Amino acid sequence: MDFKGSDTVPGPRTADHLPHTAQAAVKIVIVGGFGVGKTTMVGSVSEIRPLTTEETMTQAGVGVDDNYGSETKTATTVAMDFGRISITDQLVLYLFGTPGQERFWFLWNGLFEGALGAVVLIDTRRLEVSFDVMGRLEERGVPFVVAVNSFPDGPRYPLEELRAALDLAPNIPIVECDARRRASSRDVLMTLMHFLHSLHTTGALT
Amino acid sequence: MTPPRRRRREPRERAAPEPPKPRHGDGADPAQGTTRNPERLYVLTGAVDGERANLDLVTLIVTRGDPPPATSPEQTALLRLCAAPLSVAELSAYLELPFSVVTVLLTELLTAELVQARAPIVRQALPDRSLLEAVMHGLQRL
- Which DSSP string do the residues of B2-56 spell out, in sequence order? --------PPPPTTPPPPPPP-SSS---TTTT----HHHHHHHHS-SS-------
What is the reported pLDDT for A4?
57
In this predicted structure, the answer to whether residue A197 has a pLDDT above a threshold of 60 is yes
In this predicted structure, the answer to whether residue A90 has a pLDDT above a threshold of 80 is yes
Q: Which of B56, B120, B132 sits opposite A197 (nearest CB)?
A: B132
Q: For residue A60, what is the enclosing H or E element?
A: strand A51-60
In this predicted structure, the answer to whether residue A73 has a pLDDT above a threshold of 80 is no
What are the structural domains of chain B?
38-120 (1.10.10)
Check CB contact under 8 Å for B87 and A134: no
Give percent of chain A above pLDDT 70. Answer: 82
Bridge partners of residue A56, in order along the sequence: A77
Give the residue on B whose Cα is nearest the Cα of A166: B6
Give the residue on B whose Cα is nearest the Cα of A47: B142
What are the structural domains of chain A?
21-201 (3.40.50.300)
Secondary structure class of A176 (helix, strand, coil): strand
- Which DSSP string do the residues of B86-125 spell out, in sequence order? EEHHHHHHHHT--HHHHHHHHHHHHHTTSEEEEPPP-GGG
Distance CA A204, CA B129 (A): 13
Residues in chain B closer than 8 A to A205 (CB atoms):
123, 126
Name which residue leads in pLDDT, A6 or B129: B129
Mean pLDDT (whole number) for A14-42: 91
Check CB contact under 8 Å for A56 and B29: yes
Mutate to test the interface with B, among A9, A59, A205 (most CBs of B within 10 A): A9
Secondary structure class of A149 (helix, strand, coil): strand
DSSP H helix total and E strand total for chain A: 4, 7
In this predicted structure, the answer to whether residue A50 has a pLDDT above a threshold of 70 is yes
State pLDDT tens for residues A20-30.
Answer: 999 999 999 99
Q: Pairing state of beta strands B115-118 and B60-63?
A: antiparallel
Q: Which residues of chain B have pLDDT under 50?
A: 15-43, 46-48, 125, 127
Check CB contact under 8 Å for A65 and B19: no
Check CB contact under 8 Å for A140 and B80: no
Q: How many CA atoms lie within 13 A of B7 on its CB side?
A: 2
Q: Are A93 and A28 in contact (CB under 8 A)?
A: yes
Smallest CA–CA distance, residue A147 to chain B, in Å, is 16
Strands of the sheet containing A174-177, edge to edge, are A51-60, A73-86, A91-97, A24-31, A117-122, A144-149, A174-177
ipTM of this complex prediction, to 2 decimal places: 0.85
Distance CA B55, CA B7 (A): 35
State pLDDT tens for residues B62-102.
Answer: 999 888 888 899 999 999 999 999 999 999 999 999 999 99
